[in-house]
Amino acid sequence: MKIAVVGSINMDLVSHVHHLPKAGETISSHDFRLIPGGKGANQAVAAARLGAHVSMIGMVGEDENGSKMLNSLTEARVHVEGIKRSGTTGMAFINVSDDGENNIVLVPGANAKMSVEHIEQNLSILVESDVVLLQLEIPLPVVEYVVKKASGLGKLVILNPAPAQALSPELLQYVHTLTPNETELASLSGMPTATLSEVEAAAKKLLASGPKRVIVTLGEKGALLVTPDGATHVPACRVEPVDTTAAGDSFTAAFAVGIAKGMPEAEAAAFASRVAAIVVTRRGAQPSLPTLAEVEAHAF
């Protein structure tokens, strides 16, 4: 079970606040931490802690944050031979409210320097993988190249379309699984997503562009798995959220692990829901990601 993750690596600057600031509002933080993050790195660590053999292709800076990120990935048993160093490490400024909601501002840093040439230098990682997992915090031309190359190699391609941006049908036709949240689904489809029926209709519109399945994460409402054969609602596990950072990343990674293990897609989605439920009860991105033993032992 080998998973290749191609994506972003960030140092998260996390401020805990009583409420998220409104436009023009200045508020004080009651806690501040530097925490390893980035959607790509989060997904790599999540998959590795769930027992997968994970290799990552990405970029960090030649700074202290870059060293810390490489150490964090290595400690999680993520193989980092595909990670190059240049410039400054990407950062994410994250506000987390007392009720667990967040907002995020990204500073791409080295992530923006990801190139097709860097992928070509690490093609062996894609060749040796079973599943290739991507997000959208690196340049879109790199994502497009990897999706097409991995699909051509016969790999299962899973794309987490976050942060949301326009994706061409030419790209989507090479994607096996798309994992947007409600906001990203609305952006990609141009359709409302307020109800489950609207979510299903919007997901079916995306299916027409080529993905084999669309799994929409719905927060406390669970997830909706949509395929050409129909839709399956996956209920959320009931928990008291503390911090929703990395919930979507953990869901996508866990689904990838489940599929790589041979689980039926509905079972893999239910497994992913359990993992994400644990994540939202803990603070921080990578520190919140559970091991497989923790997931198996957790009673909901």
Question: Distance (Å, rounded) from C-alpha 151 to C-alpha 176?
Answer: 9
- Can you state the angle between helices 182-189 and 196-207, rounded to 10 degrees? 50
Report phi then psi at 111, rounded to 5.
-55, -35
Q: Where are the beta strands (DSSP E) in the chain?
A: 2-6, 10-17, 31-37, 53-60, 78-85, 90-97, 102-107, 131-134, 156-159, 177-178, 213-217, 223-227, 230-234
Question: Distance (Å, rounded) from C-alpha 139 to C-alpha 115?
Answer: 8
DSSP 52-107: -EEEEEEEE-SSHHHHHHHHHHHHTTEEEEEEEE-S--EEEEEEEETTS-EEEEEE
Report phi then psi at 131, rounded to 5.
-130, 140
Question: Distance (Å, rounded) from C-alpha 67 to C-alpha 57?
Answer: 16
249 a catalytic residue: yes
Report phi then psi at 82, rounded to 5.
-90, 10
Secondary structure (3-state) at 291? coil
Cβ atoms of 149 and 97 closer than 8 Å: no
Question: Distance (Å, rounded) from C-alpha 269 to C-alpha 50?
Answer: 14
Catalytic residue among 12, 99, 130, 249: 249
Residue 155: CA count within 13 A, CB half-sphere: 29
| Positions marked catalytic | 249
